[in-house]
Amino acid sequence: MFIQQLYTGCLSEAAYYIESEGEAAVIDPLRDIDEYLQLATSRKAKIKYIFETHFHADFVSGHLDLAAATGASIVYGPDTVTKFPVHVAKDGEIFSLGKLTIQVLHTPGHTLESSCFLLKDENKKDHAIFTGDTLFVGDVGRPDLAQKGEALTMQDLAGMMYESLQKKIMPLADDVILYPAHGAGSSCGKNLGSETFSTIGEQKQTNYALQQSSKEDFIQAVTEGLASPPDYFPINAKINKEGYESLNSIMEKALQPLNVDAFKLKMKNDDTIILDTRTANVFTQGFVPGSIFIGLEGRFAEWAGSLLPFDKTIILVTEKGKEKETVVRLTRVGFEKIEGYLQGGFEAWQTAGEPIDIIIDVEADELAMDIPFDENLVIVDVRKETEYADGHIKQALNIPLLELKDPASMANMEDTHNIYVHCAGGYRSVIASSLIKKEGIHNIRNVVGGWGSIKQLPDKFEIEKTVEALN
């Protein structure tokens, strides 16, 4: 028996490779499939099955491309309806993999087709369960992702999840290994732990959702305090359900080098987005005017999916050698209209003598010195409301980054204001500054180090923990 977890940190996503006697299965693959193919080749194995725990909403799966490359069967659980050929398994159906078997456990709740896959060793003993978004380390999957046409409330789905957990998961032995689809940072739950695997026994003892005394208590516990899912979730779920263009064909279009003149020509189209993926500290020093910054060093794909429209053309400015990585990570969340990158990067733009824009970086102590003497100073805190509530500069306005994709959120900002933008550490604030600049408001300063730097100077700032409403 060979099991390998393939974890992608920027999406907090876990895919799995299982193998026995030269036969392999992949569970919940990402769209870029090379890693699975290389693993199977290196181990002289053939991929026989592609198991999907559900229609993923936070990323585009690699099931179609992997099946085309290997001839493997795509397996979903009961109640699955797709626009491409799959094997819709029955609840309890068993698949052989060398000396191992994999049993399908239908566990609706996160979605209707959600299923877990129970791996049994060569002695037919339960060894591990791959739970998708049904059960995480420390949490369960969010029950508010009913698809279009499904007349279900999140309370309905939470009730289904309770039944699934009680009937299919809780009866398993304590030593069964738990392998979920996500870890901490994922938007697919609200309380995911830092570990990427556990045991059923550990979760029975520590997971708040498994300790509720009744179905009603469970429904309340898993639905209260649940933040809205990212806007791109329904788009990705639809792509996974209906199919998509092959990654190779997208890469051919996206990895087209554009010289400065060709890049400028595409910029003239109002439906074109210039996406700059260099690091935040490099971007602020100079960029193509009108660019939106989302750096590869952060949760890049998630922020791109949350902030950028899917129906507009994207052209790229990247660090040299990062063009392919940028495209791959965009396609993971469903972007397909990518039409090239600036050949030679930003340096080529500068060398050509084209106009550039900058964002002024300031240290936290400089902000502290300016506050008492500047009547036009406006502090914009772009952290989440919960982060803001836990501590903020007294006069700061809280406009969470996600709200800034709507220009109306900037209605109270004017170019006569001296606007200081900060987040927790300096990544989101640069994204925010680029969005504000794109709307024609240019008097922006980015607070380097964000709240992390500000709270180190409590004697220089008036800090409070009460949330102020934004008018």
pLDDT at 468: 45
Q: What is the pLDDT of residue 471?
A: 37
Q: CB-based contacts of 196: which residues, under 8 Å, 6+ apart?
A: 5, 7, 14, 137, 180, 183
Q: What confidence score (pLDDT) does residue 412 get?
A: 86
CB neighbours of residue 252 within 10 Å: 10
Which stretch of DSSP H or E encloses residue 323?
Answer: helix 323-331
What is the distance between the alpha carbons of residues 448 and 455, in angstroms, rounded to a whole number? 13
Q: Give the Cα separation of 196 and 136 in Å (integer).
A: 8
Domains by residue range for the chain, with CATH: 2-235 (3.60.15.10), 245-351 (3.40.250.10), 360-464 (3.40.250.10)
HSE-CB of 329 using CA atoms within 13 angstroms: 25
| Contacts of residue 373, Cβ cutoff 8 Å, sequence gap at least 6 | none
Consecutive 10-residue runs of the chain (471 residues): their mean pLDDT? 96 97 98 97 98 97 98 97 96 98 98 97 97 97 83 93 98 98 92 94 97 96 91 95 94 97 95 97 98 96 96 97 97 97 98 98 96 92 95 95 94 91 97 96 96 95 70 37
Q: Is 301 exposed, middle or buried, given 0-12, 13-18 or 19+ CB atoms closer than 10 A?
A: buried
435's torsion region: left (phi>0), alpha (psi -120 to 50) or beta? alpha
Cβ atoms of 250 and 336 within 8 Å: the answer is: yes
Distance from C-alpha of 52 to C-alpha of 63, rounded to nearest angstrom: 8
CB 51 within 8 A of CB 97: no
Contacts of 219 (CB under 8 A, 6+ apart): 155, 158, 159, 162
> Cα separation of 259 and 129, whole Å?
51
Cβ–Cβ < 8 Å for 305, 236: yes
Rg (CA), the chain: 24
- Nearest CA to 240 out of 46, 50, 7 is that of 50
Distances (CA, A) of 438 to 389, 397, 419: 28, 20, 15
Secondary structure (DSSP) of 221-274:
HHHTTPPPPPTTHHHHHHHHHH----HHHHHHHHT-EE-HHHHHHHHTSTTEEE
Tell me: the pLDDT tens digits for 309-368?
A: 999 999 999 999 999 999 999 999 999 999 999 999 999 999 999 999 999 999 999 999
Are the beta carbons of 28 and 60 closer than 8 angstroms?
no
Supply the pLDDT for residue 427. Answer: 97
